[in-house]
Amino acid sequence: MKKNQLLFLAIIFFVNQLHAQDAKMNAFITNLMSKMTLEEKIGQLNLVTPGGAVTGSVVSKDVDDKIRKGFVGGLFGITTGPDKIRQAQDIAVKNSRLHIPLIFGLDVIHGHKTVFPIPLGLSCSWDTTLIERSARIAATEASADGIDWAYSPMVDIARDPRWGRIAEGAGEDPYLGSLVARAMVKGYQGNDLTKNDAVMACVKHFALYGAAEAGRDYNPSDMSRLRMYQFYLAPYKAAIDAGVGSVMSSFNEIDGIPATGNKWLLTDLLRKQWGFKGLVVSDYTSVSEMIAHGMGNLQEVSALSLRAGLDMDMVAEGFLNTLKKSLQEGKVTQQQIDAACRRILEAKYKLGLFDDPYRRMSTDRAAKEILSEEHRRAAREIAAHCFVLLKNNNQTLPLKKSGTIALVGPLANSQRNMLGTWSVSGDFSKDVTVIDGIKNVAGSSVNVIYAKGANLSDDTSFIKRVNVFGPEIEVDSRSPQEMINEAVDAANKSDVVVAVVGEAADMTGEASSMSNIGIPESQENLLQALVKTGKPVVVVLFNGRPMTLTWENDHATAILDTWFGGTEAGNAIADVLFGNYNPSGKITATFPRNVGQIPIYYSHKNTGRPYDGTGFPKFKSNYLDVSNDPLYPFGYGLSYTTFSYSDITLNKKHIIPGETLRVKVTVTNTGNYDGEETVQLYTRDMVASVTQPVKELKKFQKIFLKKGESKEVTFSIGLDNLKFYNSDLKYVYEAGDFKVFVGTNSQDVKEADFVLDK
């Protein structure tokens, strides 16, 4: 038999197997549903939290009793390990009439107990293998703790750093965002959801949550369909194509209808156009929040959500308390209730919960695997790959493992601020601080003089708002001037200053939007005093968003952006500071010069009066008071070494549909260190029936080059890379002129032209 025939038979066999599995599942669920009362079916649609890691008020009362009656489909937010989960599962499986197991969800966002960098940081590695590994480790740990369902990946494209939740996603670009989405789904789910160490992923927040007006959380997102398709929808679709088991609807409204009750979104787009077959859950009370949106009372908004295509109601208990009445009044149909119930039971079936409802609770596995040495090693390695070197004058970094370092700043010795936002299971007492990391890596060969230098903020009402989850901002009893004096004294006695400054962990994340995204004043004062000493000042930045760093960029000697690096952040930071790892991260969200430039992103449109980057010509699309350019463009990040790029060579100047354009550059490591470089390819469609961005990322490769080494990097561009959504929202290509750009970031590129012929 020929190879092709064998492959064909293998595919047929595989497809048949899938059909047989589906048929078995369908028969099982049909049989189960035939025994269920209406109340029990509606009960499956109810997702409650007993409290714990919550992001709003806890509505549910008498949870145990409800489980016993079959009025609960799942629980979420339990961070205390498998015992409480086992107790709840016991009630469902042993004491409810039909013994239907519960599903247990949790916000596993960037790790479970071994915490990795915040997702925005992870994306800066541009390394989907590492990102997938972080999700795999998170799934292994969370499942040992009894979790079946992770509320991740968050794939909302965000182009407004005022929005606190920009920390939770992969930045501004739909192509990179799609690759990250796919990697995370694969990492969480593996290739067999029934495995004890696999968890069902949940792509969120569907949809457009990252485009909240004014960067204020929960605000409406209003944009044209064209913009949605062009820039915002791809990562959700990528997660769905990767087989994600569930989708979470978002808080925001779209076209005047909140996502949770938006039929166009949840049914027409998600299910009909994209073919999604899994379960759709609301966000936290987003069903009942539609009352405040002005969509009606609890009964009306619950019926609206079910009709729109929502299956499971998180916390609001609108489904539980009103759907029966709505059915009697003809506001919803039995079929709609059945369809939602079936999808929840299917998820449980696929997770293997009907075979063994306790399969993901393993005290033994938890003891062995959670925060294991192997996981911590991975966290350290992954974190180092996420840091971005924003500036490095006079090759100040890497630091020598000798001499005296003044280690200053409110984040240099702050265990509470290492993990970053949304690490509900993380235990900060396990975190490695920067001071400890430096001691671990440099040992006694370096003399470290530590001084806090400043509080994270001195603004008492702001501190109160940030500290809702605990004292992230600890206020020293000394006066700001006393603290600065101590730091300046330390600087004067040292060869170099390392200033660890930036944001507290919860200055980003949910409900943590900011109108001023610079370094808080108390720390700016410290930095200014340090710079005045004339010593080289290396800023190590903790941040959950792109910040405005214009002053720092002008005055600091070096800046290393470390986001919030997770459990092993301190070790990873020291690895990079002392050159054990040469930084290779590149930013995935543009850093503005000031807040007034927002929204600012690399793949903008040209306008009819484009600004060419020189001077301030009148009647051009520019500002009187600031340049159009960002402080740091998308894709930017330095290395301890330098890379040079040859001109682009193309295998042909014209291609026709079906042909491949090969784009070649030679990259040379021209500096003094071995290092990694992310080579980025962008295209521009010069003439099209709808206007196109000035650049769009289409491919990238992360390569390793020894000092002095050159490598030829080849990219293949085909028709799929040149398509766009036209005015009818059809994904099409149009023949004509294109530009291709290759370079080290979205601004610093070589370019060449080619033509797509008919």
Active site residues: 283
Does the footprint of ligand NOJ cover residue 253 (CB under 6 A)? no
Partner residues linked to 200 by β-bridges: 149
Closer residue to ligand NOJ, CB minimum distance, 283 or 313: 283
Query: Rule CB under 6 A: which of 151-170 touch ligand NOJ?
Result: 151
Closer residue to ligand NOJ, CB minimum distance, 107 or 676: 107
Distance CA 451, CA 461 (A): 25
- Report helix, strand or coil for 572: helix
Phi-psi region of 296 (alpha: psi -120 to 50; beta: other; left: phi over 0): left
Closer residue to ligand NOJ, CB minimum distance, 151 or 733: 151
CA-wise closest residue to 284 among 500, 510, 472 = 510
Question: Maximum CA pair distance of the chain?
Answer: 83
Closer residue to ligand NOJ, CB minimum distance, 55 or 219: 55
Closer residue to ligand NOJ, CB minimum distance, 55 or 467: 55
Considering the complex, what minimum distance in angstroms separates the CB of residue 251 from ligand NOJ?
A: 6
Closer residue to ligand NOJ, CB minimum distance, 472 or 510: 510
Considering the complex, what minimum distance in angstroms separates the CB of residue 13 from ligand NOJ?
A: 39
Residues whose CB falls within 8 Å of the CB of residue 213, separated by 6 or more in sequence, listed in order? 219, 220, 221, 222
Tell me the residue length of the chain: 758
Q: How many CB atoms lie within 10 A of CB 688?
A: 17
Does the footprint of ligand NOJ cover residue 148 (CB under 6 A)? no
Does the footprint of ligand NOJ cover residue 510 (CB under 6 A)? yes
Binding mask 175-204 for ligand NOJ (x = CB under 6 A): -----------------------------x
Q: Which of 40, 107, 575, 676 binds ligand NOJ (CB under 6 A)?
A: 107
DSSP string spanning 238-275? HHHHTT-SEEEE-SSEETTEEGGG-HIIIIIIIIIIT-
Closer residue to ligand NOJ, CB minimum distance, 284 or 601: 284
Does the footprint of ligand NOJ cover residue 738 (CB under 6 A)? no
CA-wise closest residue to 400 among 493, 495, 534 = 495
Amino acid (one-letter) located at 85? I
Distance CA 537, CA 548 (A): 18
Partner residues linked to 662 by β-bridges: 716
Considering the complex, what minimum distance in angstroms separates the CB of residue 108 from ligand NOJ?
A: 10
Distance CA 41, CA 30 (A): 12
Partner residues linked to 694 by β-bridges: none
Does the footprint of ligand NOJ cover residue 55 (CB under 6 A)? yes
Decide: 721 and 754 in contact? Cβ < 8 Å.
no
Considering the complex, what minimum distance in angstroms separates the CB of residue 233 from ligand NOJ?
A: 18
Closer residue to ligand NOJ, CB minimum distance, 108 or 473: 108
Considering the complex, what minimum distance in angstroms separates the CB of residue 178 from ligand NOJ?
A: 19
Considering the complex, what minimum distance in angstroms separates the CB of residue 255 from ligand NOJ?
A: 20
Closer residue to ligand NOJ, CB minimum distance, 56 or 736: 56
Contacts with ligand NOJ by CB under 6 A: the residue count is 8
Closer residue to ligand NOJ, CB minimum distance, 102 or 446: 102
Binding mask 539-578 for ligand NOJ (x = CB under 6 A): ----------------------------------------
Considering the complex, what minimum distance in angstroms separates the CB of residue 279 from ligand NOJ?
A: 14
DSSP string spanning 392-451? EGGG-PSPPSSSEEEEESTTTT-GGGSS-SS-TT--GGGPPPHHHHHHHHHGGGSEEEEE
How many CA atoms lie within 13 Å of 362's alpha carbon, on the beta-carbon side? Answer: 19
Q: How many CB atoms lie within 10 A of CB 373?
A: 7
Considering the complex, what minimum distance in angstroms separates the CB of residue 102 from ligand NOJ?
A: 16
Distance CA 236, CA 216 (A): 22
Distance CA 681, CA 717 (A): 10
Decide: 484 and 410 in contact? Cβ < 8 Å.
no
Considering the complex, what minimum distance in angstroms separates the CB of residue 280 from ligand NOJ?
A: 13
CA-wise closest residue to 643 among 602, 681, 672 = 672
Does the footprint of ligand NOJ cover residue 289 (CB under 6 A)? no
Considering the complex, what minimum distance in angstroms separates the CB of residue 283 from ligand NOJ?
A: 5
DSSP letter at 53 equals S
Closer residue to ligand NOJ, CB minimum distance, 314 or 661: 314
Q: Which of 71, 276, 284, 591 binds ligand NOJ (CB under 6 A)?
A: 284
CA-wise closest residue to 112 among 417, 363, 375 = 375
Amino acid (one-letter) located at 573? I
- Report helix, strand or coil for 523: helix
Considering the complex, what minimum distance in angstroms separates the CB of residue 243 from ligand NOJ?
A: 20
- Report helix, strand or coil for 573: helix
Query: Rule CB under 6 A: which of 12-51 touch ligand NOJ?
Result: none
Decide: 750 and 667 in contact? Cβ < 8 Å.
no
Binding mask 65-104 for ligand NOJ (x = CB under 6 A): ----------------------------------------
Q: Which residue has the tokens 């003809």?
A: 330
Does the footprint of ligand NOJ cover residue 283 (CB under 6 A)? yes
Phi-psi region of 45 (alpha: psi -120 to 50; beta: other; left: phi over 0): alpha
Distance CA 721, CA 221 (A): 28
Q: List interacting residues with ligand NOJ (CB under 6 A).
A: 55, 107, 151, 204-205, 283-284, 510
